[in-house]
């Protein structure tokens, strides 16, 4: 078994660009849900206005329910 961290690469959705997602860089999993990182959202290049937790564009969805 190797000591080095492995980065899992996952299939990308159609609008994700030319590369797959990298766990720990583009997203992490919390309570079974995928959470995009600020790094990924900024590099995507636009705000989706869904109230993402790490939105680098400052969008706040007032109707977004957390929990």
CA distance 36 to 34: 7
Range of the domain at 58: 32-62
pTM to 2 decimal places: 0.61
Residue 12: what pLDDT? Answer: 52
CA distance 3 to 26: 22
Residue 8 in any domain: the answer is no
Residue 32: what pLDDT? Answer: 85
Residue 5 in any domain: the answer is no
Low-confidence spans in the chain with pLDDT less than 50: 1-7, 14-15, 17-18
The encoded tokens of residue 53 equal 């937790």
What's the number of domains the chain is made of? 1
Residue 41: what pLDDT? Answer: 94
Residue 17: what pLDDT? Answer: 45
Element (H, E) at 10: strand 9-10
């Amino acid at each position: 078994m190797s000591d080095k961290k492995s980065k899992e690469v996952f299939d990308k959705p159609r609008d994700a660009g030319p590369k797959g997602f990298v766990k720990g860089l583009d997203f992490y999993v919390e309570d079974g849900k995928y959470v995009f990182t600020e790094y990924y959202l900024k590099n995507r290049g636009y705000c989706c206005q869904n109230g993402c937790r790490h939105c680098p564009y400052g969008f706040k969805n007032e109707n977004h329910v957390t929990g």
